[in-house]
Chain A
Amino acid sequence: MRESQVKRTPSEPLLQRIVKILLDRREASLVILLAIMLVPIVARSPQFLSLDNINRILNDISILSIVAIGEFFVILSNGIDLTVGSIIAFSGMASGMLNEAYPNVPVVLILLLGIGIGAAMGSLNGLLVAYGKIPPIITTLGTMSIYRGMTFVLSKGTWVTAHEMTTTFIGFPRRTFLGISALIWMAVIVIALTYYFSRHTRPGREIYAIGGNATAAKFVGVNEKRTRFMVFVISGTLFGFAGSLWTARYASAVNEMATGFEMQAVAACVLGGVNFAGGAGAIPGVVLGALFLGVLNNALPVVYLSTFYQTLVQGMVVLLALIINTVVDQRKTRKLLAQRRAR
């Protein structure tokens, strides 16, 4: 092994080394952009970085992070899951209705119901994709309507409002432990577990393998069908969990809830450096992507941008971030090629 080629000379200044390490990471450009974006915002309104507001942003992105991580595993396997909003809606509606009908059922069971519903719906997606060999985008385009339709059928078109639910249920996301809300804790737990899963377990490794090169993975005995099935179960489970949390946090369950939320989830992944073709990406990037979207959503009203412009600006900033990502990526590729030639 020629370690000499990797080791950098110790005389190199520390700052330069840090910059280099940052540039080596796909997520790096996002951190830099986030910092650049914060400058005018904080200049306009210094309270933006107050503990209160940071807490608000983190609460806002908790559900998005959980959902984006679910989407991450599917994209990592070179798939896509469009059922984000629909599973959230069905699970959220079911959670709200359960709470309304049986106020005594503990919150934990409501969450488990959401998780169970999500897992079941994700399994159906997974079965169709892995064993029915239907492309993920087609499969989830279909089930997305089916699940949303099921929500309407379940609720018979009505919704569950705040006063129909127990204060225990709708109050629990705001309950704090060590000064941090339960909602944020949920996200932290999901992030920690999935991070460990993706990096240190065999199934996690196999998802990377299938997404990177399904043929080569098959040639070394990775069970492609099982792995593809699994990613949809994971994503469905997380979406279902997010559905229960959504109803509790927003204290209502409506049929149209979380419509179009899949786009936010995909955006968080792509912003976080997840390769859309599969095989590359990591949980910290996804969380960073969600954080980026959260800061953006939170900041636009602060800088007195009219609501009419907010969506427009959001789209532009996301696109800009992606362009920077791509440029950094291409530079890295060129550097690698040059290195390879030099060897």
Chain B
Amino acid sequence: MEGRELAFKNALDAQHAGIVAIHQEASMFLELSVTENIFMGHHLRHPKTKRLDGKGMRERTRELLDQLELSIDGDTLVKNLSVAQRHMVEIAKALSLHAKIVIMDEPTSALTTREVEDLYRIVRQLRAEGRAIIFISHKFEEIFQICDYFTVLRDGQYIGEGFIKDTTTDRIIRMMIGRNIDHMFPKKDPKIGEEILTVENLSQLGAFQDVSFSLHKGEILGFFGLVGAGRSEVMRTIFGIDRRSGGTVRIDGKPFVPKGPHEAMAKGIGFVPEDRQRQGVILSMSIGNNITIVQLDSLCKMGITNAKRELEVTRTYGEKMEIKAAGWHVDADTLSGGNQQKVVLAKWIGTNPRILILDEPTKGIDVATKAAVHEFVSEMASQGIAVMLVSSELPEILGMSDRVVVMHEGDVTAIFEREELQEEAIMRAALGETKEARRA
């Protein structure tokens, strides 16, 4: 750095050298105030008494927050801040450390559009002050909007770099996937069959209301919206994890009120949840046990497991998903994120589902695995499985879906047929603009 060679033992070392990282999932002290968070690890001390200088720190916090034009009170507990505000506090902390280099790892992944604009403004401000920013992202819009120079990494390897103004999205995508973009969404000709799932006026207090749509065999029904639109909550309710407060769900025309996921599973519903590490895989269990746990019903006789059949099932579906691992017996926590997701997918195909719910199935996984997942989803649909695909990535929704349900703050704002799919209209519905129009 600045011509010197540095090797950091830990984060504190790096901070002293002027490098501060802001993590994907902000690591903060929720029960402490904004001020305390900002000065954690480098408290100000009173010049004379050498005691902690509460007043000084509070003033400095005020300055920093003002500098960022933020309307946050320094005494607020961090747990009461939104995710976006927490990010801003982390940035304020970086400023307080006089950071020369700020590393931001997917800073926008949990932010709404407006919050992202705020973040951009601050990033530009930091740049204008002469700080360097390393902006890690997989979203092209933001890279093109905010960055000057790019480096592409794929599977831990350096692929290329250049000035943003000299390149195009297509060129970067090609660097990222290592093959042409046309293969990114292997949409097959859909053979859409009869209606299998009907949802009418489904509501859950405080999460979503009056959600109605239908799902057909062989169809991929996309669900688009911004974070907090209530898409995942709808899926969880259909799958029997959360209780509904009103409305009906019908499967094959028959009313379906699940008491728990096991009843949804009995109806042939599979659910790949949003949070892979927390909801999807059991990290301390082997790949094999992760895959077979959903079908112990059919694999067990009188509650006794059958190791041979379990291995068969694991091998069949594990190979189908091309899971890369040292063996089926290794624990899931030794796998990469993409392979963990493949384990979750393998688990559900093993149950021969009729309806497959995929909640952000490609979130946080590498481009190659992403392509594999897309191909797999198309194949499932072509076999007559009804797929509900929840995604926050517009290209994914546009590329994969036969129809798209758009939600905004708990309401369905639009349902588009494939022919009508158009980025702008979808985004507008997701921002709730059509809703306002409809109400007016």
Report B-chain residues with C-beta under 8 Å of the C-beta of A1. Answer: 315, 318-319, 325, 327-328
Asked if B1 is an interface residue, CB under 8 A from chain A, the answer is no
Whose C-beta in chain A lies nearest to the C-beta of B285? A212
Which residues of B (299-327) have their CB < 8 Å from a CB of A? 300, 303-305, 307, 315, 318-319, 324-327
Report A-chain residues with C-beta under 8 Å of the C-beta of B372. Answer: none
Asked if A163 is an interface residue, CB under 8 A from chain B, the answer is no
Q: How many A-B residue pairs have CB under 8 A?
A: 97
Asked if B283 is an interface residue, CB under 8 A from chain A, the answer is yes
CA distance in complex: A276, B351 (Å):
32
Knowing A213-B283, A216-B281 are in contact, say whether A223-B319 is a contact too (CB < 8 A): no
Which residues of B (342-367) have their CB < 8 Å from a CB of A? 347
Knowing A202-B296, A219-B279 are in contact, say whether A343-B304 is a contact too (CB < 8 A): no
Smallest beta-carbon distance B265→chain A, Å: 5
Task: Return the CB mask of B366-403 against A: 1 if under 8 Å, else 0.
Answer: 00000000000000000000000000000000000000
Smallest beta-carbon distance B303→chain A, Å: 5
Report B-chain residues with C-beta under 8 Å of the C-beta of A279. Answer: 282, 284-285
Whose C-beta in chain B lies nearest to the C-beta of A211? B284
Q: Which of A3, A206, A221, A341 contacts B265 (CB 8 A)?
A: A221
CA distance in complex: A122, B265 (Å):
31
Knowing A213-B278, A279-B285 are in contact, say whether A222-B293 is a contact too (CB < 8 A): yes
Do A201 and B327 touch (CB < 8 A)? no
Report A-chain residues with C-beta under 8 Å of the C-beta of B279. Answer: 215-216, 219
Asked if B196 is an interface residue, CB under 8 A from chain A, the answer is no
Asked if B273 is an interface residue, CB under 8 A from chain A, the answer is yes
Do B284 and A202 touch (CB < 8 A)? no
Do B261 and A219 touch (CB < 8 A)? yes
Asked if B125 is an interface residue, CB under 8 A from chain A, the answer is no
CA distance in complex: A216, B281 (Å):
6
Do A213 and B334 touch (CB < 8 A)? no
Smallest beta-carbon distance B338→chain A, Å: 11
Do A201 and B283 touch (CB < 8 A)? no
* Count of A interface residues, CB-CB < 8 Å: 34
Report B-chain residues with C-beta under 8 Å of the C-beta of A83. Answer: none
Smallest beta-carbon distance A332→chain B, Å: 10
Asked if B80 is an interface residue, CB under 8 A from chain A, the answer is no
Report B-chain residues with C-beta under 8 Å of the C-beta of A222. Answer: 293
Report B-chain residues with C-beta under 8 Å of the C-beta of A203. Answer: 303
Do B319 and A202 touch (CB < 8 A)? no
Whose C-beta in chain B lies nearest to the C-beta of A343? B324
Do A200 and B315 touch (CB < 8 A)? no
CA distance in complex: A336, B334 (Å):
6
CA distance in complex: A336, B318 (Å):
21
CA distance in complex: A339, B305 (Å):
31
Whose C-beta in chain B lies nearest to the C-beta of A214? B282
Asked if B178 is an interface residue, CB under 8 A from chain A, the answer is no
Do A201 and B304 touch (CB < 8 A)? yes
Knowing A220-B293, A221-B294 are in contact, say whether A341-B281 is a contact too (CB < 8 A): no
Binding site for A on B (CB under 8 A): 156, 241, 260-262, 264-265, 271, 273, 278-285, 289, 293-294, 296, 300, 303-305, 307, 315, 318-319, 324-328, 334-336, 347
Q: Assuming A209-B289, A211-B284, A340-B335, what are 17 further A-B pairs, CB within 8 angstroms?
A: A2-B324, A2-B325, A6-B327, A200-B304, A205-B296, A208-B285, A209-B293, A212-B284, A215-B279, A216-B278, A216-B280, A220-B294, A221-B264, A221-B265, A280-B284, A339-B326, A339-B334
Binding site for B on A (CB under 8 A): 1-3, 5-6, 200-203, 205-206, 208-209, 211-213, 215-223, 275, 278-280, 336, 339-341, 343
